[in-house]
């Protein structure tokens, strides 16, 4: 092993202790609910991935154990076990008990790393009631155990292994005093590790759930090409994926691009396998280069007679993965959702410009499809602009400038107000009578709104129901979106608790995800949960599921008076207020985007034209579906 690649105690640098992690866990892992719990796993796995990036690890095992603990095993070099030159303790103990202690601060150990903050495994230790670390190095197996971040005993040798065996195994038990849930979700973990496997074609990730007998091997030799194909499996694609890899100094850029016949743009950025959900300089550089390359080609071939294609025109229907490997990424915050390195924009712009221009020249059949689609998008965008102008013009007509069917609230304090979107005039009438007029507004819609997944922006923005919805919210859509103009703090979808109601909810969510995703990201979107049954025995009890009904009837015993609500319109105003609209008693589901890649894939599959994946989804989930008769 070269001197540059050496990884021992001297490469472990310590910046500070663990004080404050348990007091303010949200600062380090984002929260103490499901997301924060799973962030612990990601922090440990990030260390294994860093070993992959360094060229030493090929297999990672992630195991949900029967006792509720989590184990992460890899065949990397193993955390160093020799004594630290300054702290005179084994490097393993330093890495697990000191905040900002790790090999990432000493550039000779890792050239490229995702876990640059160095807080990962020590924070996991601090937030675990118990953690066991095992290391295989130099023919020996070392172990140390910790309780709430403190060693129970000194590191010891517990056995021997083959000289060529090496790696780290971390088993941790999340602290129930910190987390609201300690149940690990197999599917939630799978989504993240699937991304990692796509981005690292040389690694095999084995995910096991010993509690429920599940196991998945995640390995994609095709890398980014397979990743793009996976995202687009429910869409009509225009060509095979375009792929290139370029390097300038130590900065490596990998890009995969594939256009579909959809109207949506999907660009996903990763830096050292970290999903930069808020983008950053690498995405800015990619977009600039893409716009320039397609414009140059379209003008040169006479596809574009005058003017220029906008970035939106060029990106319509694109699915792209931009994966960056960088020595010293500067992320915004510990959650690492945005890249800040200013020099990266130029690197990516330059590399993508050269590679994409070469591809477009050498592949005219694909290039013409891309340029023609962008040109058609430009014309449609002009028509859509006229439709948006029409929305604005309509909004200034009349006394309030708001849709005629909107029953607005009296309060003008946005932070207190709510907009209920309800289906049909019957439900709208009940909701108007039930509401608190001071802060609750009601907008009834005529039946099912347009499926925007299958409609171009011009048609979507010409739909009366969608115009009414946009005007009521006040924000505008797409490039005209302005969060400051939002008129309500909560936008609540309230539909019947039947199949039709669920379909309308899905259509509305498709609209919000495709046209105003910022409202979901900002936490303004909710779904009202209306009751399925009213049970009367002495007093009224409202029930929200069949399981809940069975339990209640068993508890009450004897004959029950059970009313099944087929729709919101069947409830009188008092019942609707008590069950679904009263902030003190209602149940609201907050809508969030856990995984943009999965959300895009799901909406395309459920609402798009390709039947195969939808049929498979229905067959897979039929056994857990509730049938409404």
Active-site residue set: 423, 496, 498, 500
Residue located via tokens 């919805």: 469
Q: Please check whether residue 430 is in contact with residue 572, taking contact to mean a CB–CB distance below 8 angstroms.
A: yes
Measured in whole angstroms, the distance separating CA 140 from the mean position of its chain's CA atoms is: 41
Angle, in degrees to the nearest 10, between helices 364-395 and 281-300: 110
Alpha-carbon distance of 235 to 253, in angstroms, equals 26
Q: Please check whether residue 495 is in contact with residue 501, taking contact to mean a CB–CB distance below 8 angstroms.
A: yes
Contacts of 520 (CB under 8 A, 6+ apart): 512, 513, 591, 592, 593
Q: What is the chain's Cα-based Rg?
A: 28
For residue 384, give the nearest of 481, 467, 461 by alpha carbon.
461
Please state the three-class secondary structure of 98-116 as a single string: CCCEECCCCCCCCCCCCCC
Beta bridge partners of 274: 271
For residue 614, give the nearest of 605, 601, 622 by alpha carbon.
605
Alpha-carbon distance of 414 to 487, in angstroms, equals 6
Alpha-carbon distance of 526 to 242, in angstroms, equals 38
DSSP states of 275-296: E-TT-BHHHHHHHHHHHHHHHH
Q: Please check whether residue 313 is in contact with residue 381, taking contact to mean a CB–CB distance below 8 angstroms.
A: yes
Q: Which two tokens stand for residue 547?
A: 């399981």
Contacts of 392 (CB under 8 A, 6+ apart): none
| Neighbouring C-beta atoms of residue 137, cutoff 10 Å | 22
Alpha-carbon distance of 493 to 473, in angstroms, equals 13
- DSSP annotation of 479: G
Q: For residue 191, with 0-12 CB atoms within 10 Å meaning exposed, 13-18 middle and 19 or more buried, which class applies?
A: middle
Q: Which two tokens stand for residue 459?
A: 């048609």
CA dihedral 601, 602, 604, 607 (to 10 degrees): 180
**Starting at the edge strand that comes first in sequence, how are the strands of the sheet with 525-528 ordered?**
440-445, 418-423, 490-494, 525-528, 588-590
Contacts of 144 (CB under 8 A, 6+ apart): 90, 92, 93, 96, 132, 133, 151, 153, 154, 155, 156
Measured in whole angstroms, the distance separating CA 406 from the mean position of its chain's CA atoms is: 33
**Starting at the edge strand that comes first in sequence, how are the strands of the sheet with 533-537 ordered?**
539-543, 533-537, 561-564
CA dihedral 496, 500, 503, 504 (to 10 degrees): -60
Alpha-carbon distance of 235 to 317, in angstroms, equals 10
Residue located via tokens 């069950």: 579
C-alpha separations of 447 from 61, 421, 427, 460, 466 in Å:
49, 11, 11, 16, 12
Q: Please check whether residue 534 is in contact with residue 563, taking contact to mean a CB–CB distance below 8 angstroms.
A: yes
- DSSP annotation of 581: I
């Amino acid at each position: 092993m070269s001197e540059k690649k050496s990884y021992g105690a001297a490469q472990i640098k310590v910046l500070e202790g663990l004080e404050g992690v348990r007091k303010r866990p949200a600062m380090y892992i984002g929260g103490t609910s499901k997301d924060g719990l799973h962030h612990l796993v990601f922090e440990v796995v990030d260390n294994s991935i860093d070993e992959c990036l360094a060229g030493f690890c090929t297999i990672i095992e992630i195991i949900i154990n029967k006792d509720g603990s989590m184990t992460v095993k890899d065949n990397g070099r193993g955390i160093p076990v020799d004594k630290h030159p300054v702290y005179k303790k084994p490097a393993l103990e330093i890495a697990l008990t000191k905040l900002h202690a790790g090999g990432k601060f000493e550039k000779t150990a890792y050239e490229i790393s995702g876990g640059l903050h160095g807080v990962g495994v020590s924070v996991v230790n601090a937030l675990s009631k118990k953690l066991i670390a095992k290391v295989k190095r130099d023919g020996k197996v070392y172990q140390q155990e910790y309780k709430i971040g403190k060693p129970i005993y000194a590191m010891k040798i517990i056995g021997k292994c083959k000289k060529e065996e090496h790696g780290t195994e971390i088993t941790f038990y999340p602290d129930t005093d910190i987390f609201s849930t300690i149940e690990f979700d197999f599917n939630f973990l799978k989504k993240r590790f699937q991304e990692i496997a796509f981005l690292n074609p040389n690694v095999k990730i084995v995910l096991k759930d010993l509690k429920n007998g599940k196991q998945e091997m995640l390995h994609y030799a095709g890398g980014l090409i397979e990743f793009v194909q996976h995202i687009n499996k429910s869409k009509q694609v225009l060509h095979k994926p375009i792929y290139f890899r370029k390097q300038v100094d130590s900065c490596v850029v990998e890009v995969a691009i594939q256009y579909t016949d959809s109207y949506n743009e999907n660009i996903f950025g990763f830096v050292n396998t970290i999903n930069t959900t808020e983008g950053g300089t690498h995405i800015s550089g990619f977009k600039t280069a893409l716009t320039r390359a397609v414009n140059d080609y379209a003008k040169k071939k006479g596809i574009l007679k005058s003017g220029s294609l906008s970035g939106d025109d060029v990106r319509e229907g694109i699915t792209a993965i931009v994966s960056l490997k960088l020595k010293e990424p500067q992320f915004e915050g510990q959650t690492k959702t945005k890249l800040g390195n200013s020099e990266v924009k130029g690197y990516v712009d330059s590399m993508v410009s050269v590679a994409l221009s070469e591809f477009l020249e050498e592949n005219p059949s694909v290039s013409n499809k891309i340029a023609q689609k962008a040109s058609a998008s430009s014309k449609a965008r002009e028509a859509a602009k006229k439709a948006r102008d029409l929305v604005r013009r309509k909004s200034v007509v009349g006394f309030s400038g708001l849709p005629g069917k909107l029953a607005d609230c009296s309060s003008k304090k946005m932070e207190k107000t709510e907009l209920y979107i309800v289906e049909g005039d019957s439900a709208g009438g009940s909701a108007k009578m039930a509401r608190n007029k001071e802060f609750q507004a009601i907008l009834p819609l005529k039946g099912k709104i347009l499926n925007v997944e299958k409609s171009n922006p011009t048609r979507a923005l010409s739909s009366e129901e969608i115009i009414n919805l946009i005007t009521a919210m006040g924000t505008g859509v797409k490039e005209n979106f302005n969060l400051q103009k939002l008129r309500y703090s909560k936008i609540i979808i309230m539909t019947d608790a039947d199949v039709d109601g669920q379909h309308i909810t899905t259509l509305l969510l498709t609209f919000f995800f495709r046209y105003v995703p910022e409202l979901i990201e900002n936490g303004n979107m909710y779904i009202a949960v209306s009751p399925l049954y009213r049970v009367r025995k002495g007093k009224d009890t409202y029930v929200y599921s069949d399981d809940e009904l069975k339990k209640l009837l068993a508890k009450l015993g004897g004959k029950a008076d059970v009313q099944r609500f087929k729709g919101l319109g069947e409830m009188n105003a008092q019942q609707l207020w008590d069950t679904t609209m009263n902030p003190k008693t209602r149940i609201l589901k907050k809508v969030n985007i856990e995984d943009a890649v999965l959300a895009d894939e799901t909406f395309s599959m459920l609402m798009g034209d390709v039947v195969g994946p939808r049929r498979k989804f229905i067959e897979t989930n039929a056994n857990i579906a509730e049938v409404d008769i």
